[in-house]
Amino acid sequence: MDDDSRSERERLKEEYKAHYRKVREIKERVSRAKRTQNIASALKSMDKTEMLNSFDDFLYSVKHKLASVEARLDLAMDSLAEEHEDNVSEQELDEEMRKSKAKDTLRQVKLEMGLLYNEIEEQANNIKVNKTIGRDSTALSDRSDNELKEE
């Protein structure tokens, strides 16, 4: 009888171990599923406009640097070609660079003003204010969605 109770106890012990293994495995699956669900919901709730705006700013800065380098290269090539005919003074080069920087600064200010206008519109939409002047933000967002689809 002692052997029967020992074998029964060993059998029950193995059943409990198997049961706890299954429970631990199910808990791990639930944990992974929750993590996946949290990641998916975070991706869905991510502010795409802010990300696109930061990408646009980055793209603008890259284009600005590229244009600046190209302008310098053009000026250097022009000055080399004209050097034997007519010496280009450094003041003229500086003047051209100042003009180029002024244009770029103006473009940047216009871009920032556009972003500021979009932020004000978003705040107005959040407080349920009807606009009386300017374009409707829904028309702008529809147009930008269509433009993104076309690209």
Taking only the tens place, the pLDDT of each residue in 35-76 is 999 999 988 887 778 778 888 888 898 899 988 888 888 888
Rounded Cα distance, 15 and 68, in Å: 75
> Distance between CA atoms of 15 and 52, rounded to whole angstroms?
56
Question: What pTM, to 2 d.p., does this model score?
Answer: 0.32
Structure tokens at 89: 């003074």
Chain position carrying tokens 């029967």: 4
> Are 122 and 137 a contacting pair, CB within 8 Å?
yes
Q: Residues for the chain: how many in total?
A: 151
Contact assessment for residue 115 and residue 53, using Cβ atoms and an 8 Å cutoff: yes
> pLDDT tens for residues 87-138?
556 777 788 888 888 888 887 887 777 776 777 777 777 776 565 666 655 5
What is the pLDDT at residue 52?
80
Which CA distances in Å does 79 have to 86, 89, 96? Answer: 9, 9, 13
